[in-house]
Amino acid sequence: MGGVGVATSDRPINLFRNMTAKVAAIPMILTVLFVFVGGTVWTVTYSFTSSKLLPKLKFVGLDQYERLWSTNRWIISIENLFIYGICSLIFSFVIGFVLAALMDQKIRFENTFRTIILYPFALSFIVTGLVWQWILNPEFGVQNIVRSLGWTGFVFDPLYNADIVIYGILIAGLWQGTGLIMVLMLAGLRGIDEDVWKAARVDGIPAWKTYLFIVIPMMRPVFVTTLVIIASGIVRVYDLVVAQTSGGPGIASEVPAKYVYDYMFQSQNLGQGFAASTMMLLAVAIVVIPWAYLEFGGRKRG
Amino acid sequence: MRSLGILLGATALVAATSAGATELEVTHWWTSGGEAAAVSELAKAFNASGDVWVDGAIAGSGGVARPIMISRIIGGDPMGATQFNHGRQAEELVEAGLMQDLTDVADAQGWKDIIHPSSLLEACTLDGKIYCAPVNIHSWQWLWLSNAAFEKAGVAVPTNWDEFVAAAPALEAQGIIPLAVGQQSWQTSGAFNVLMVSLAGKDIFLQVYDEKNAEVAAGPDVARVFKAADDARKMSAKSSVQDWNQATNLVITGQAGGQIMGDWAQGEFQVANQVAGEDYTCLPGLGVNEIISTGGDAFYFPKLNDAEKTEAQKRLAALLVTPEVQVGFNLKKGSLPIRGDVDLAAANDCMKKGLDILAKGNVIPDPNQLMSPDSIGQINDLFVEFFNDASITPEDAQARFAEIVGNAD
């Protein structure tokens, strides 16, 4: 709220300044209050009840949470989310940035390449998941092709091996998502003033050093936006798993969002689903609140 | 949520008044070839009686369809009638007063006397009132064997589970998967339940699933069942198909020796033009304990504000139980009728075996009728994990099973 100095003696009350803007914001404020905050409070409240198919206010304390954390499937879900999250974060950033940097070398047909790389993002997760289910299927996909080329001992069946199945899902996720990250990064790179590059060149700084020590620090806002987009994608990963493995083999590729859905709608145990979704919210809050504090709390000092 | 409900209710009202008064929308998840043919029998009968059947098939299995049906009923946009598995899936909807009471129809037709076994009607009853019309009986306890596979392996077609386990090495030597199991979680737990009732007997089964006795679940009788499940796990290690009908197809084509699956698998054999006794063998109760469970499908009728529709609902409920509809529907569906007094001369060998067992009264309720979907879900999770992870010992799995049973409701 930068004060656009209304430097008159009869200064209007703060509340009525920018009246139209405030009126316009009312629907959004109401939405936030009732849908987001209200829905969250409702969910957390009912996670302490024994609600089954229909929500009922019969409180059972922390029972749902105790059960949740003693359930093998939930533990595996959390581990998978952790592996998927860390890998997805690192690879999205690295691949996205490298692609963007390459794209930024004033290459020919940049538009074409950009479109090709961004294109997977136009596909839904369900389609992506099905496509990669076929590609990774040992009988039709990569393994079969390599074997037919002569390497008959070649084994590549991530979706059928419980130990590495989550990486099979990661591959599909990265294929779908890195295009967008690349475009965001490219926009960031284009936002860097040409003069910075000229100055660096005059000083004889090699290009990789310019990227690492000058350009990347200047791209901080873009990185923050990208981080939020990737992180939200990680927490809600669901459809990809459903399309590729539906949680299998066994329960090796279960994820928290799928746990929530299955318990709320298939097992008809709302309380358990709410407890699980509250834990997901808590996990997000633990990451977001310190970050928001640093990001927005810090700005006042500057 | 509430305003959404009102909105949905309002649109439903508009739709209802503009349509004919005795149109009933019926939702179900019967979408495969044989199932769709069976539903059309019901629709034909209802249309012939002067009302209009509006088909609301929902693709996907029950797991996909049920949440949609439930959210429509809760959200204030109820359909005229809907399929559920009779049991506890709709229990809370009935308790919440969202379902039509059918007691007067049942009394008028004397359902108490004609519906056999009586457990079917009990599953529809809450506080002495009847809320659903059962339409068929599906049983789980069948072992389907490929005669060709055993011929190739050079062993006689087994007549019980132990012979089947003993024949497994011979099958494997020929590159045949001894036991086909799909990866969907309900299939593995279903197979386990079959092992339980067939090998440990009816009493143990009821003590575990009906009385939820954790001590019995942790005891030596159930330990034997887990041992058998361990055998089944080893025999199915190479089976990597997903859906149950893909697994059945392995048996049909002789790539697998056998499959533990409910009587709906029979439809697949029929579609493939295979003859019971010649091309395939069916062993009810795994050839050990000839007993079948009486799960199945029932129609529930959500409460509607339209008196005319309510009357149509009752007419449909009455129609579903009549002998003609029962015969027409169940022959197409491959399931057993809910009354013992109808003539199923056209039934095949396996169906006749089933009818015979039913007539003798060797029946148990389905776990769906005894346990809440929540407990069933936990058991499904346990067995899909057990069948896919050879590092879980039968003892560990049994301990976890006993814990679920102890906490079940």
Question: For the structural domain made of B142-293+371-407, what CATH number should be given?
Answer: 3.40.190.10
Q: For residue B231, what pLDDT band results from cuts at 50, 70 and 90?
A: very high
Nearest CA in chain B to A249: B388
Asked if B89 has any chain A CB less than 8 Å from its own CB, the reply is yes
CA–CA gap between residue B202 and residue B196 (Å, rounded): 9
Q: What is the pLDDT of residues A26-51, one digit of tens each?
A: 999 999 999 999 999 999 999 999 88
Alpha helices in chain A (DSSP H): 19-30, 39-46, 63-69, 72-103, 110-118, 125-135, 142-148, 165-190, 194-202, 207-210, 216-218, 220-235, 239-244, 256-261, 270-292, 298-299
The pLDDT value given to residue A105: 86
| Phi, psi values for residue B26, rounded to 5° | -120, 120
Banded pLDDT at B235 (limits 50, 70, 90) = very high
Using CA atoms, how far apart are residues A302 and A15, in angstroms rounded to an integer? Answer: 27
CB-based contact A100:A182 (threshold 8 Å): yes
A175 and A277 co-located in one domain: yes
In a domain, A134, yes or no: yes
Which residue of chain A is at minimal alpha-carbon distance from B385? A250
- Are residues A121 and A224 located together in one domain of the fold? yes
**Domain shared by A7 and A98, yes or no:** no
**pLDDT given at position A245:** 85
Coil, strand or helix at B276: strand
B359 in contact with A, Cβ within 8 Å = no
A56 belongs to a structural domain: no
Residues A275, A142 share a domain: yes
pLDDT of residue A11: 62
Model confidence at B8, pLDDT cuts 50, 70, 90, reads very low
Band (pLDDT 50/70/90 cuts) for residue B11 is very low
The residues of chain B that CATH labels 3.40.190.10 are 2-138+295-352, 142-293+371-407
A282 and A195 in a single domain? The answer is: yes
Q: For residue A59, what is the DSSP state?
A: B
Give the mean pLDDT of chain A. Answer: 87
Establish if A113 belongs to a structural domain: yes
Residues in chain B within 8 Å Cβ distance of A263? 374, 377
Q: Which two tokens stand for residue A53?
A: 């198919």
Residue A57 located in a structural domain: no
Nearest CA to B295 out of B83, B130, B41 is that of: B83
CB A234 within 8 A of CB A246: no
**Comparing A113 with A12, which gets the higher pLDDT?**
A113
Q: CB neighbours of B390 closer than 8 A, spacing ≥ 6?
A: B233, B237
Report the residue of chain A nearest B390, measured CA to CA.
Answer: A250
Q: Mean pLDDT score of chain B, rounded to an integer?
A: 87
Q: Is some CB atom of chain B closer than 8 A to the CB atom of A249? A: yes
Q: Specify whether A111 is located in the same domain as A149.
A: yes
Tell me which residue range forms the domain holding A15. Answer: 1-46
Q: Do B374 and A272 touch (CB under 8 A)?
A: yes
Which residues make Cβ contacts (< 8 Å) with residue A142, sequence separation at least 6? A135, A136, A156
What is the number of alpha carbons within 13 Å of residue B1 lying toward its C-beta? 10
Q: B123 vs B178, which has greater pLDDT? A: B178
Q: Where is B85: in which H helix or E strand?
A: strand B81-85
For an interface test with B, give the residue of A46, A52, A70, A272 to mutate (most B CBs within 10 A).
A52
CA dihedral (A222, A224, A225, A227) in degrees, to 10, reads 120
pLDDT of res. A56: 85
Indicate the DSSP class of residue A11: P
List A residues 185-244 in contact with B (Cβ-Cβ < 8 A).
none
Our count of domains for chain A comes to: 2
* SS3 state at B339: strand
Residue B285 sits at the vertex; the CA angle it makes with B191 and B347, to the nearest 5 degrees, is 110
pLDDT of residue B5: 47
pLDDT of residue B135: 92
Q: State the pLDDT at residue B21.
A: 52
Which residues, in sequence order, are bridge partners of residue B138? B295
Instruction: List the CATH number of the domain containing A151.
Output: 1.10.3720.10
Q: Which of A160, A250, A268 sits opposite B384 (nearest CB)?
A: A250
pLDDT digits (tens, 9 = 90+) for B276-335: 888 999 999 998 888 988 888 999 999 998 889 999 999 999 999 999 899 888 888 878
Q: How many CA atoms lie within 13 A of A284 on its CB side?
A: 18
What ipTM was predicted for this assembly? 0.74
B212 — alpha (psi -120 to 50), left (phi > 0) or beta?
A: left
Six token digits for residue A146: 């390599």
Q: Is the per-residue pLDDT at B386 higher than 80?
A: yes
- Please tell me the predicted confidence (pLDDT) of residue A156: 85
Q: Is A54 domain-assigned?
A: no
What's the topology of domain B2-138+295-352?
A: D-Maltodextrin-Binding Protein; domain 2 (3.40.190)
Q: Is the pLDDT reported for residue B14 higher than 50?
A: no
Q: Do B96 and A54 touch (CB under 8 A)?
A: yes
CB-based contact B64:B58 (threshold 8 Å):
yes
3-state secondary structure of A249: coil
Nearest CA in chain B to A246: B184
**Does B91 reach chain A within 8 Å, measured CB to CB?**
yes
Give kind and range of the element (H or E) at residue B83: strand B81-85
pLDDT for B190-211, tens place per residue?
Answer: 999 999 999 999 999 999 999 9
Chain A residues lying within 8 Å of B372, measured CB to CB: 52, 268
pLDDT tens for each residue of A58-74: 899 898 999 999 888 99
Q: A252 phi and psi, to 5 degrees?
A: -70, -20
